[in-house]
């Protein structure tokens, strides 16, 4: 099964590079917040643009990105992540 191996690798990377992961998490959250204010236009495989309004963007973030970002924070360690952010 690849998922236990993937999780082991993810945890090892999170332990070794917590600052880099937190920087990426914060950047993705900032982008999501900006997109949730104004909406975003996504391009499909045929090159056509589709506008998602703020409500759809927020729902999409909550369903797709937030669980991923929360998992990264979990692997870093919630307390450790808070401590690293506070030190910054």
Q: What is the mean pLDDT of residues 53-61?
A: 94
The pLDDT value recorded for residue 76 is 86
Domain that holds residue 6: 2-87
Number of domains comprising the chain: 1
From the list 28, 34, 23, 31, the residue with the least C-alpha distance to 68 is 28
Asked if the model's pLDDT at residue 14 lies above 60, the reply is yes
From the list 42, 60, 62, 59, the residue with the least C-alpha distance to 51 is 42
Q: Are 81 and 73 in contact (CB under 8 A)?
A: yes
Q: What is the mean pLDDT of residues 21-50?
A: 91
| Alpha carbon 38 to its chain's center | 19
Per DSSP, which regions of the chain are E strands?
40-43, 49-52
Which two three-digit tokens encode residue 83? 């401590």
Asked if the model's pLDDT at residue 63 lies above 70, the reply is yes
| pTM for the full predicted model | 0.74
């Amino acid at each position: 099964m690849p998922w236990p191996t993937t999780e082991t690798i993810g945890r090892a990377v999170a332990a070794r590079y917590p600052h880099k992961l937190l920087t990426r998490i914060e950047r993705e959250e900032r982008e999501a917040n900006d997109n949730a204010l104004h909406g975003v236009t996504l391009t499909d495989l045929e090159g056509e643009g589709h506008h998602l309004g703020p409500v759809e963007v927020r729902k999409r973030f909550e369903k797709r990105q937030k669980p991923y970002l929360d998992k990264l924070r979990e692997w870093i360690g919630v307390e450790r992540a808070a401590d690293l952010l506070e030190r910054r």
